[in-house]
């Protein structure tokens, strides 16, 4: 007696659902990916105490006095109040970028506690863009 | 005369390579993705015309609208910030730290954070929205 064997059909794995899963994963990644870049500015704020001889020269350093209502810029105490636009123009006129030393490029930002961060941010970014080196003036706890 | 028409075979689109393409796309997105870690933090960026587009950085400090400090997505007290930043930056070539502060926060809340960051060897990158 001869036994007839059934011919074996070639086994195929169904991969049509494979691409569905893959495309679902793609949609997930598209939705969670943040391709948008952020905007900002790098500031190099000198850390630590200024040297003693620098203190003598501090009188010459430009200072921005920032309060909740006014911006004053200059090395004199009675510098006139400016708008943000006027400050930008003054910074450009001072040509800080082309000054030879850091000391000449330095701009001290004196900021009162009640100032909103956005105002401080705008001043600081304006100084950075003009090529200035930002320095922070902090009063010692004893003198406060 | 009877004409016999050939039976048309239903056209088949080969989809086997579709999975390959899809997985290549997945690998691409996995490599370029930067998962949103700060979606739960409420912060409104300050606006300035003097800023440019920059690459997102690896180390982020956020000061939210309630004055809470977030370092890499975790709440950190101000006293511990300097030490924590020092540990994170240790051995890194890129010392830049992204500082994102809510636009309406008063400077008395910002100053301790800024001073803690300045005390480390981090380079501050202040983040905002371009006007």
> In this predicted structure, what is the pLDDT of residue B22?
80
Average pLDDT, rounded, for chain B: 84
CA distance A131 to B32: 33
Element holding B128 (H helix, E strand): strand B123-130
> In this predicted structure, what is the pLDDT of residue B77?
93
Q: What is the mean pLDDT of residues A11-36?
A: 77
What residues 69-108 of chain B have any CB closer than 8 A to a CB of chain A? Answer: 96, 98, 101-108
CB contact under 8 A, B19 and A29: no
| Closest C-alpha to A67, from A108, A109, A107, A111 | A111
Assigned token pair, B13: 């689109």
**B28-63 pLDDT, tens per residue?**
877 776 665 566 788 899 999 988 888 778 888 999
Residues of chain B with Cβ-Cβ distance to A111 below 8 Å are: 107, 111
Count contacts between A and B (CB, < 8 Å). Answer: 144
What is the pTM assigned to this prediction? 0.71
Helices (H) and strands (E) in chain A, counts: 5, 6
Could you tell me which residue, B2 or B47, shows the higher pLDDT?
Answer: B47
Could you tell me which residue, A9 or B58, shows the higher pLDDT?
Answer: B58
Average pLDDT, rounded, for chain A: 78
Could you tell me which residue, B118 or B2, shows the higher pLDDT?
Answer: B118
Nearest CA in chain B to A16: B15
pLDDT at A142 over 50: no
Q: Does B111 touch chain A (CB under 8 A)?
A: yes
- Computed from CA positions of residues A84, A89, A95, A97, in that sequence, does the dihedral angle turn out positive or negative? positive
Could you tell me which residue, B17 or A84, shows the higher pLDDT?
Answer: A84
Q: Who among B26, B104, B111 is closest to A29 (CB)?
A: B26
> In this predicted structure, what is the pLDDT of residue A46?
66
> In this predicted structure, what is the pLDDT of residue A27?
85
Could you tell me which residue, B80 or A140, shows the higher pLDDT?
Answer: B80
pLDDT band at A57 (very low <50, low <70, confident <90, very high): low
Element holding B101 (H helix, E strand): strand B96-101
Q: Where are the beta strands (DSSP E) in chain A?
A: 38-43, 62-66, 71-74, 81-82, 106-111, 133-136
> In this predicted structure, what is the pLDDT of residue B107?
92
**Please, how many CA atoms are within 13 Å of residue B101, restricted to the half-sphere of its CB?**
25
CB contact under 8 A, B52 and A120: no
pLDDT at A99 over 60: yes
- Helix segments in B8-106, DSSP class H: 16-32, 78-89
CA distance B37 to B108: 27
Nearest CA in chain B to A131: B50
Could you tell me which residue, A73 or A79, shows the higher pLDDT?
Answer: A73
> In this predicted structure, what is the pLDDT of residue A96?
85
Q: What is the DSSP letter of A50?
A: P
Q: Are A107 and A62 in contact (CB under 8 A)?
A: yes
Q: Are A121 and B45 in contact (CB under 8 A)?
A: no
B107 Cβ neighbours under 8 A, 6+ residues apart: A111, A112, A113, A114, A115, A116, A117, A120
Could you tell me which residue, A17 or B93, shows the higher pLDDT?
Answer: B93
Q: Does B129 touch chain A (CB under 8 A)?
A: yes
**B105-122 pLDDT, tens per residue?**
999 999 999 889 888 888
Q: Does A144 touch chain B (CB under 8 A)?
A: no
> In this predicted structure, what is the pLDDT of residue A143?
41
**A107-130 pLDDT, tens per residue?**
888 888 899 999 999 999 999 888
Q: What is the mean pLDDT of residues B98-106?
A: 92
Chain-centre distance of CA B2, in angstroms?
Answer: 73
């Amino acid at each position: 007696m001869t036994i007839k064997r059934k011919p074996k059909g070639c086994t195929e794995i169904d991969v049509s659902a494979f691409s569905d899963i893959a495309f679902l994963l793609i949609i997930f990644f598209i939705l969670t990916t943040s391709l948008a870049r952020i905007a900002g500015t790098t500031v190099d704020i000198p850390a630590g105490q200024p040297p003693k001889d620098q203190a003598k020269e501090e009188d010459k350093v430009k200072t921005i006095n920032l309060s909740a209502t006014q911006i004053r810029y200059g090395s004199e105490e009675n510098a006139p109040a400016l708008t943000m636009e006027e400050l930008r123009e003054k910074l450009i006129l001072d040509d800080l970028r082309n000054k030879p030393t850091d000391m000449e490029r330095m701009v001290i930002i004196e900021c009162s506690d009640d100032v909103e961060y956005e105002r401080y941010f705008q001043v600081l970014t304006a100084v950075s863009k003009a090529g200035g080196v930002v320095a922070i003036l902090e009063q010692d706890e004893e003198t406060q | 005369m009877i004409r016999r028409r050939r039976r048309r075979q239903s056209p088949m689109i080969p989809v086997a390579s579709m999975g390959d393409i899809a997985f290549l796309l997945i690998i691409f997105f996995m490599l370029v993705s930067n998962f949103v870690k700060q979606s739960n933090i409420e912060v409104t960026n300050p606006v300035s015309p003097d800023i440019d587009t920059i690459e997102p950085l690896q180390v982020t400090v956020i000061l939210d609208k309630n004055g809470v400090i977030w370092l890499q997505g975790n709440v950190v007290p101000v006293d511990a910030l300097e030490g924590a930043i020092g540990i994170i930056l240790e051995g890194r070539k890129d010392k830049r730290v992204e500082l994102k502060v809510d636009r309406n926060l008063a400077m008395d809340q910002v100053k301790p954070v800024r001073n803690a960051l300045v005390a480390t060897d981090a380079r501050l990158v202040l983040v905002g929205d371009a006007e």
